Structure 1
Amino acid sequence: MTSRSSKFSALCLALSVGGGVSAFAHAAPALAQGAAAQSVPQSGGQSATPAEAPEGITLSASDKMWLGKIEKALNSVTTFQAHMQQLDTDGKRTTGVVWMQRPGQMRLAYDPPTPLLLVANQGKVVFRDNQLDQTTVIPMERTPLGLLLRQHVSLKEDVTITGFQHEGGLVQVTVVRTSSPGDGSLTLVFYDNPVSLRSWSVVDAQGRETRVTLFDVKSGVAIPAGTFTLPAQPD
């Protein structure tokens, strides 16, 4: 696999909600670099080695209040469309368009000349590099993306909060999947008045960090049929 393909296989996706006093964003994650380095069998794969339980932080009553506001906002939106700018660990900037329909569906199409496409649907994430004619398939539950495309998003169930900060008008939350913290961590940063997504970053299984900014966000949009059709996958 070329360095470009390996680099972009650690994609960071974003979901956002805009408009109104309660504007909020839905988030998104990156795919674990280690998992993306090869096509993952849909069944019959080897069992992962049990991960050591992550160490969470102690939350104050105020912290828990903010987490409740975040959860409520995340669960209030089912569809959105937005433009995005991505900055990878090597400082490379790319742009594109992202669509989300919760539960379980997302599409990220990068702007030319970047020949990349990522579609999440049917319990898996499919990454397509058209220039290399290469397709990678990753089970959605192995990515932070799976946490945010659920029917009901929760920051209490199945996840561990490893960081929380509220200062200067910003709220920052870092989470990992409790059962598999090695899949990567997701940090969300929000404005606190009104609650709205400012940025986020993902650290993948190899320690690579990707940062994403959303703009021109439209929530509650009707998404055309076929938007989340998965690219052809290897046999």
Structure 2
Amino acid sequence: MKKLFLNSALGLALLAATAGAARADGVGALQQFVAEVKSGRASFTQTVSSPDGRRKKSSSGSFEFQRPNQFRFSYEKPAPQLIIGDGKKVWVYDPELAQATVRAMDQALGATPVALLAGGDLQREFELKNLPSEQGLDWVQASPRRSDSGFQGLKLGFKGQTLAAMEFTDAFGQRSLMQFSEVQVNTRLPAERFRFDPPAGTDVVQSR
């Protein structure tokens, strides 16, 4: 699950409703989200499929973010895991292993979906393209401009003015589908939600 942090879970950085987006197309909704949504929270379900589609893993939890550079992913099922960006560092904490991995934020983000949450340059980092509507959703494709982004592509599905789904494929062909519910945008979040103090006895690993 830790490697899914930059490759799929952190795609949740784009999850919040687009709060008042006037344009119906996916590209316009995404651009307005980046410009106007400063904070948010939501519940999510995530299904990860192997490249051949035969093996699947499901998880669920909650997500919170606040610009700039702060986010919190709390996986609840099937196993607890916490991912926190505090503005300078990114922490990945596994309570069952009593282990926390920490990495500098500028090294962790790059041209990943979470870069949009952290205030990245949308046009510089991604090429955007409207896709045909499917299953009642308007889709936009966000392709990374950098070859070292670690993923092949990202599709975001909007229902009206709300981002309802995200489909992500990593560099190895592993596919993640995320669906969002109970979305709140531009809500006030306590500062302590984006701080992490390793519990006593935690093995802290510095990642590069």
**What does residue 206 of structure 1 align with?**
172
**Cα distance, 1:81 vs. partner?**
1.1
The separation in 1 between residues aligned to 2:83 and 2:110, in whole angstroms, is 15
Q: Does the Cα contact within 8 Å between 1:187 and 1:202 map onto a contact in 2?
A: yes
Give the greater-gyration-radius structure (CA): 1
SS of residue paired to 1:211: strand
Matching of residues 66-105 of structure 1 within 5 Å: 67-89=27-49, 90-105=55-70
**1:152 shift after superposition:** 6.1
TM-score, normalising length: structure 1? 0.66
Residues 6 and 221 of structure 1: CA distance in aligned 2, closer, same or farther (over 3 Å): closer
Aligned counterpart for 1:174 among listed residues 127, 131, 141: 141
**How many Å separate the matches in 1 of 2:192 and 2:149?**
33
- 1:226 is aligned to 192
Taking the aligned partners of 2:119 and 2:4, their CA distance within structure 1 comes to 30
The alignment covers a number of residue pairs equal to 189
Give the 3-state SS of the residue equivalent to 1:207 in structure 2.
coil
In the alignment, residue 43 of structure 2 is paired with which amino acid? H
Deviation at 1:132, TM superposition (A): 1.9
**Alpha-carbon shift at residue 119 of structure 1 (Å):** 1.1
| Cα distance in 1 between the residues matched to 2:88 and 2:113 | 11
Q: Could you list the per-position Cα deviations for residues 33-67 of structure 1 after superposition, in whole angstroms to 9, with x for gaps in the alignment?
A: xxxxxxxxxxxxxxxxxxxxxxxxxxxxx99x752
Query: For structure 1, which runs of at least 5 residues remain unmatched after alignment?
Result: 25-61
Distance in 2, matches of 1:134 and 1:75, equals 36
- 4+ residue runs of structure 1 moved beyond 6 angstroms? none
Cα RMSD (Å): 3.2
- 1:122 paired with 2:87, answer yes
**Mapped partners of 2:126, 2:6: distance in 1:** 23
* 1-structure distance, mates of 2:73, 2:64: 7
Q: Does 1:107 align with 2:104?
A: no
Deviation at 1:148, TM superposition (A): 1.3
More strand by share: 2
Give the TM-score normalised by the residue count of structure 2.
0.74
1:200/1:212 contact within 8 Å kept = yes
Residue 201 of structure 2 corresponds to which residue in structure 1?
Answer: none
**Partner SS state of residue 98, structure 1:** strand
User: In the alignment, what sits opposite 2:119?
Assistant: 151
2:150 maps to what in 1? 183
> Shift of residue 7 of structure 1?
6.5
Quote the Cα distance in structure 2 between the aligned partners of 1:132 and 1:143. Answer: 29
Cα distance change of structure 1 residues 222 and 164 upon mapping to structure 2, 3 Å threshold: same
